[in-house]
Structure 1
């Protein structure tokens, strides 16, 4: 196992961070394959397809302002990359901090085929 991400993975992680920080729905969608799955929590069924991912991002980011996002690649398993993220943002006039993890499968073309999230939120920041 490598101590550093491949260029493809590093670019994907940075593009994900930028898309979230900029609320760039099309940019987020471009990171996923047409048939990608995206699971927001372990207890919800995954969304399937780029259009579903874009709809989710549009819905979620529409209420977020002053987004500051950090993403840190942690390592890789046999099929997945692991990323820690922290988001500090304003939602409905209040400060919110979200801290979580991503398990991401990225294909040879630099697009995500599957993403799973685990996160917690502190609405008081």
Structure 2
């Protein structure tokens, strides 16, 4: 993977979040993906488990939000991306995330790890 490929993948992820249904997920994730939505969560194993979770986590494809990204690092099959997401309907509405992504040779994500943070969130101290 290179920065351009990772940027294209993140853009496709955002488009998938804004698209009805879950069909685009097969173009993003490998069938055996491990998807960790937070560092303390139990990983979601496999695309067949990810699809219902995906639909349950969003308010629908017309959910208003903005998303910006900064690719921090790409090393071989692994990338780190910093994102800022502002949802217009949720509380909390602002999130800063770090994504650690691992890809296969076909550019599909095999491991997705998210570290989401929102203002006012306990910092663990």
SS, match of residue 6 in structure 2? helix
Work out whether residues 81 and 103 of structure 1, in 8 Å CA contact, stay in contact via their aligned partners in 2: yes
Structure-1-length-normalised TM-score: 0.79
SS, match of residue 45 in structure 1? coil
Structure-2-length-normalised TM-score: 0.79
Work out whether residues 90 and 96 of structure 1, in 8 Å CA contact, stay in contact via their aligned partners in 2: yes
Work out whether residues 33 and 109 of structure 2, in 8 Å CA contact, stay in contact via their aligned partners in 1: yes
Structure 2 Cα separation of the partners of residues 37 and 121 of structure 1:
24
What are the ranges of 5 or more consecutive residues in structure 2 without an aligned counterpart? 121-125
Alpha-carbon RMSD across the aligned residues, in angstroms, is: 2.5
Out of 15, 18, 43, the position equivalent to 1:18 is 15
1:73-88 matches, cutoff 5 A? 73-77=71-75, 79-88=77-86
Structure 1 Cα separation of the partners of residues 14 and 70 of structure 2:
10
Work out whether residues 82 and 99 of structure 2, in 8 Å CA contact, stay in contact via their aligned partners in 1: yes
> Is 1:117–2:114 an aligned residue pair?
yes
| Alpha-carbon displacement from aligned partner over 1:10-62 (angstroms, at most 9, x marks no partner) | 32121112223x15532234300100000011111110111222212101112
What are the ranges of 5 or more consecutive residues in structure 1 without an aligned counterpart? none
Out of 27, 33, 37, the position equivalent to 1:36 is 33
Work out whether residues 70 and 82 of structure 2, in 8 Å CA contact, stay in contact via their aligned partners in 1: yes
Which structure shows the higher strand fraction? 1
Match of 1:105 in 2: 102
Work out whether residues 28 and 57 of structure 1, in 8 Å CA contact, stay in contact via their aligned partners in 2: no
> Is 1:27–2:24 an aligned residue pair?
yes
